[in-house]
Structure 1
Amino acid sequence: MTAVMTASIQGYCDPEFAAVREVFEANFRERGERGAAVAVFRDGVQRVDLWGGWADKAQTRPWAQDTIVCMMSVGKGMAALCLWMLADRGVLDMDRPVAHYWPEFAGGGKAAITVRTLITGKAGLLFADSAPDGAGLDWEAMIHAYEQQVPEWEPGTDHGYHSFSAGYLLGELVRRIDGRRLERFFDEEVAQPFGVDYGYGTRGAPDTRVADIIPNPDSHTFVQTRDRTTKLGRAWKQRPPSDDPYNDAAYREGVMPSSNGHGNARSVAKVYAALACGGTLDGVRLVSPPTIDAMRNQSWFGTCAMTDRVFRYGHGFFLNEPNMSPMGSNPGSFGHPGAGGALGFADPENRISFGYSPSFMCAGGGLGERCAALSAAVYA
């Protein structure tokens, strides 16, 4: 692949992880990287913090230390984390019906669906058919539609990635139990205590600090979500219409927790660093070690009813799987990818965490060769 013009790579890389820097540089030379950041923590200490390339499509604005970018579905993992924090505190029981906390959810024959069935992608709530097209930024309209939605299958009998719906469903559960909206809960309970620059939407950041997403016409997700004849197109028809959806001002400023979490590799890797180190980092506790094991307990490994791809899935998180979600050498690693190649994961056995935040979406339906090469290099 022809190399693009690149700004210099900056940051720090511990010699122990020199292979990560080598791969990061090679991604620009050989794999079409436009702008990105990568970070690695080990034992709760940051060992890699690199960034480089360009933050805009025109390649006039260098990627800076504080550049943030849309990391797509990485935000679903953060939403799942918030729900698990409530479970860890004893105010949420995974095996109670969702309707116990959210009574209106029982509509459409959903009264028996438990929180566990929902968070494992077995509820069959892939779509919000009654919501108006383009209503994705109207939280109440979306929640009302999911309350009415009839599951695609008998809950618990099949499994599928809740590509568009998970952020709303998990987020509304957080609100019903805690009283705070998901974005506020995450900011006050995770982002501020850890001092990380990640959250839903750009949170008032100036455009000069936000990198442009560069769609890839060979991305399965990008193509299928724009095609109403596909399952992903049916699920994503509530995304606000735009010729440039990921860079649209309303999309950047609003809250669509399945897809518009903005941040950078360093911030995501730090959150996962806590999960790699027993749930506590720098004196701030997220969850307990038993809860971490529950989060990464495999719920299914097989063909996803939404995407027809093979996933290995835990409880709100993807599990390490070489083809679709490569997270190093430990089968016990877990985290969440984002369409286009973004990724955050934790490896509790090796006390390692990883974050990658690119601007140019990868081809295909997985994380792409750039992310896979970086993930492997962590363990080189």
Structure 2
Amino acid sequence: MGLLRYGLILCFVLVTYYYSRRIFEEKRPLVLDGYYHPDFKQLADVFRQNLQTGKEQGGSFAAYHNGKCVFNMWGGYADDEAVRPWDKNTLTMAFSASKGIAAITAAKMVDLGYLDYKRPVVDYWPEFGQKDKENITVEMLLSHQAGLPLLDENLHLRDIIDNPDKVERVLAAQGTVWPAGSEFGYHGVTYGLYVDTLVRKADPQGRDVARVFREEIAEPFELDAFINTPKEEFYRAARLNTQPLWEMLLETLLSPRYFPILGHYILFPDSLLVNVAKAVVEFTMDMSVFNNPDLREVPLTSATVTSTANGLGKLYGILANGGATKGKILLHAEQVQKLATPLVQGTDSVIKQEGSIFGPGTGMVKNPKGQLMYGHTGHGGQVGMADPTNKLGFMYLTNHISIYGLGDDPRYLDLENTLYKCLDNFVKNNNKYT
């Protein structure tokens, strides 16, 4: 009882300090700009309110309906220290929401005839077959069924550019932690290492994943998005802001679904969940390490996709509207449907979350209407989704990193709930675009 009482007192002190600090913080001029369709004014008001209260300190949100932009706004500060406002060209990291872009890039490779979901990975990458991995299919690898969520020999992020032979050797030599296909578990960091290598091996020109995405998707469809942050684009990058430890603990205490994750880090430091992040050393550090342009230029579809919200919102909008726009096909209907089709669901063997659903690289969640969407969520609050039922695609990005990584960041939920209310009004008004 004594521990519970002291715990409650600690929570009260932390909450009081957290909110009182916001009250007395120096107020900077409100930064808010962009476009919204008149029927989405309530969404703009919510975005403004979050900025005014300090709930949102820097971010952007974009939504497309029937392939047309209905909302694209940004606000707050891209760099607090330099007092640099967020603008329409500001880029930031998607973290694990990057995996949705990996899934779309792999689907494009399938559409081009370079990959087949049902074929074994060894058909494209023979060395991968070591340690009984010869029966792992492309589909298993993409949907977190391969049993490869960690590495026995950990890597540094720059190895992907500076020492690719080492990366290939380590990946190929890795054994599985469960028989492939027998269960599924989130490959938080290794996902991009394996998928990106597979894309390069399967591509007839040997292009890396960043180039495939740029040449086959981003440039043809005019998307302001990259698998990495090219050095020449880094001047546009938002500076990542991470929370002090006490704020992270407070948010965790207020979010019960994160208790098991926190518990593993405290009580089981050698558990599978904790060791997953160690596959690439930089992911065990404070995420502000990714303000280093030498790291940000590394392409890794586990986490390093960088974009404006409009860039990825437009991408998901095209997919939600069938996969084509202005007479150009991004993906044929068969591949779009595949991205939206669950392959595994249940309790994730790594992060222990019930109700997890994965397609071929896509993560799936329900919208406020209870309908299934696909895309991916990411660390810090990032979310990108295609909602084919409502022909709606959207992206939320922020550079102020929270603990939330499952599409449950309060800032995002405010926007998502209001988006669907506005959509109902928009549809009632006969979809009149401006």
Task: State if a TM-score over 0.5 links the two structures.
Answer: yes
- Could you tell which deviates more after superposition, 221-230 or 66-75? 221-230
Q: How does 1:153-192 map to 2 (within 5 A)?
A: 153-178=178-203, 179-192=206-219
Cα deviation for residue 239 of structure 1 reads 3.1
1:18 alignment partner in structure 2: 41
1:372 alignment partner in structure 2: 413
2:281 pairs, out of 231, 239, 253, with 239
1:62 pairs, out of 80, 85, 90, with 85
- Could you tell which deviates more after superposition, 71-80 or 238-247? 238-247
Q: How does 1:311-330 map to 2 (within 5 A)?
A: 311-321=356-366, 327-329=367-369
Q: Which secondary structure does the structure 1 equivalent of 2:74 belong to?
A: strand
2:146 pairs, out of 123, 139, 144, with 123
Cα deviation for residue 303 of structure 1 reads 1.9
Alignment CA distance shift 1:207-1:365 (3 Å): closer
Q: CA RMSD in A?
A: 2.5
- Could you tell which deviates more after superposition, 179-188 or 29-38? 29-38
Matched, 1:202 2:229: yes
TM norm structure 2: 0.80
Cα deviation for residue 356 of structure 1 reads 0.8
Alignment CA distance shift 1:229-1:136 (3 Å): farther
Q: How does 1:1-380 map to 2 (within 5 A)?
A: 1=19, 2=22, 5-6=27-28, 7-30=30-53, 32-58=55-81, 60-132=83-155, 137=160, 138-178=163-203, 179-216=206-243, 217=245, 218=248, 229-237=270-278, 238-240=280-282, 244-310=288-354, 311-321=356-366, 327-329=367-369, 331-367=371-407, 368-380=409-421
Cα deviation for residue 246 of structure 1 reads 2.2
Task: Provide the C-alpha distance between the structure 2 equivalents of 1:64 and 1:158, rounded to a whole number of angstroms.
Answer: 43
Structure 2 unpaired stretches of 5+:
1-18, 253-257, 422-434
| Structure with the larger helix share | 2
Task: Provide the C-alpha distance between the structure 2 equivalents of 1:214 and 1:104, rounded to a whole number of angstroms.
Answer: 40
TM norm structure 1: 0.91
Alignment CA distance shift 1:246-1:225 (3 Å): farther
Alignment CA distance shift 1:189-1:57 (3 Å): same
Cα deviation for residue 31 of structure 1 reads 6.0
Structure 1 unpaired stretches of 5+:
322-326
Cα deviation for residue 315 of structure 1 reads 1.8
Preserved CA contact (<8 Å) 2:378 2:406: no
Alignment CA distance shift 1:351-1:148 (3 Å): same
Cα deviation for residue 285 of structure 1 reads 1.4
Deviations 1:171-194 (A, max 9, x none): 112111112110000010111111
Q: Which secondary structure does the structure 2 equivalent of 1:64 belong to?
A: coil
Deviations 1:143-192 (A, max 9, x none): 32111111110111111111101112111121111121100000101111
Cα deviation for residue 302 of structure 1 reads 2.1
Task: Provide the C-alpha distance between the structure 1 equivalents of 2:368 and 2:55, rounded to a whole number of angstroms.
Answer: 22
Number of equivalences? 375
